[in-house]
Amino acid sequence: MELLSPSALSPLLPPPPPPCSSSLQHHSRISFSPSRIGASSSSSTSQEIQHTHTSNPKVVVTRERGKNFKLMDALFAMIFPFSNCELRQIYGSNGTFFAVAELGINCLEFPLIQHAQGPDFDRLASVLSAETAFDWIIITSPEAGSVFLEAWKAAGTPSVRVGVVGAGTASIFDNLIQSSKHSLNVAFAPSKATGKVLASELPKDGNRRCTVLYPASVKASNEIEEGLSSRGFQVMRLNTYTTVVVDHVDQIVLEKALSVPVVAVASPSAVQAWVNLISKPDSWSNSVACIGETTASAAKRLGLRNVYFPAQPGLDGWVGSILEALRAHDSF
């Protein structure tokens, strides 16, 4: 199912009181460009959303515990692009808290997966320390990026050129790049955030042999290395991490999650974990909002019916699919 265009979405907010300036009326629809409200930090805003407004959640967020804040922040910021002044006019001094409650986009954090070291984890630092440098390091997920950075620092921060699958993965390197002058160059992202497109578009330096290091999940397919190899790249894949089901599920929280209109998932592993918990996919009629087509395909294959995903993978598209699913449930 393709992402609903922003222009097709109905206004989210109740009619505001008379504004002090005419600009207020232009903010009554969904905006898909990120924005911030006031000086709240990302973590504090997310914690406010998570801990203050879970009495009537509309979205279940399922990434590893502590790694759902970015999605929760994005839901908050993209659906409510108002300034502090405008917030006070509409909602009074409580601003950010009350705004989220009024809109009803409350999140329930219910981690389905966790990450663990892969069999090649210990090899990564030694490979990066070797005298022979790679032309490209390919990073295809935030977790792969975090694991890579740990090994890269252990290897003495050698000069590397990095290709990422999309903006979400690239953001893992933002703080490093902004705060230091280490020789890590994020030099490529494909026109579409998928492994297949990355493999077809990664720049190749003429006809000479071009080498690629691909730190990957144990569960990742062979699509990237096969695509690159077919173009003449020499690829070394290291399975540096894996994704496993969480050790324990709180049954009370599970019962609550089962009644929430939309479950947001970011990997086939998360979809599988959810299906294992609900036991009978055909009897569960709520929606799944997937980060991209690969995850959506897994959801459909496992019997889930109301599956939403963006045409362009990534955080912004994921938020759009969540909003589309909520709208289908009349949850605005």
CATH number, domain containing residue 273: 3.40.50.10090
**Statement to judge: residues 198 and 238 lie in one domain:** yes
Whether residue 40 is contained in a domain is answered as no
Count the domains in the chain.
Answer: 2
Residue 312 CA to its chain's centroid (Å): 12
Confidence of residue 72 (pLDDT cuts 50, 70, 90): confident
pLDDT at 180 (0 to 100): 54
Range of the domain at 271: 59-112+246-331
Q: Is residue 14 exposed (0-12), middle (13-18) or buried (19+ Cβ within 10 Å)?
A: exposed
Residue pair 69/46 in contact by the 8 Å Cβ criterion: yes
**Cross-strand pairs, 138:** 163
What would the mean pLDDT of 271-294 be, rounded to a whole number?
Answer: 90
Residue 18 covered by a domain: no
Q: Does 11 reside within a domain?
A: no
Pick the last residue of a domain from 183, 210, 244: 244
Using only C-alpha atoms, what is the Rg of the chain? 21
Alpha-carbon distances, residue 4 vs 10, 27, 28, 80, 201 (angstroms):
11, 19, 17, 18, 27
- Are residues 65 and 119 located together in one domain of the fold? no
Condensed to tens digits (0 to 9), the pLDDT of residues 128-182 reads 998 788 999 999 999 999 999 999 999 999 999 999 999 889 988 987 755 555 6
Same domain, 321 and 270: yes
For the stretch 104-118, pLDDT in tens is: 478 999 999 999 999
Q: Mark whether 143 and 126 lie in a shared domain.
A: yes
What secondary structure letter does DSSP report for 80?
A: -
- Confidence check: pLDDT of 11 > 80: no
Q: Are 36 and 95 in contact (CB under 8 A)?
A: no
Return the axis-axis angle of helices 293-301 and 268-278, rounded to nearest 10°.
30
Calculate the average pLDDT of the chain. 77
Q: Residue 298 in contact with residue 271, Cβ under 8 Å?
A: yes
Query: Do the Cβ atoms of 193 and 216 come closer than 8 Å?
Result: no
Is it the case that residue 202 has pLDDT exceeding 80?
A: yes
Distance CA 92, CA 17 (A): 11
Residues in the chain: 332
Q: Assess if residue 254 is contained within a domain.
A: yes
Whether 39 is in a domain gets the answer no
Give the pLDDT confidence score for residue 79 in this predicted structure: 55
**142 shares its domain with 210:** yes
Same domain, 162 and 128: yes
Q: Specify the DSSP class assigned to residue 131.
A: S
Indicate whether 151 belongs to any domain: yes
Distance of CA 237 to the CA centre of its chain: 23
Side-chain-side CA neighbours of 35 within 13 Å: the count stands at 16
Share of residues in the chain with pLDDT > 70 (%): 73
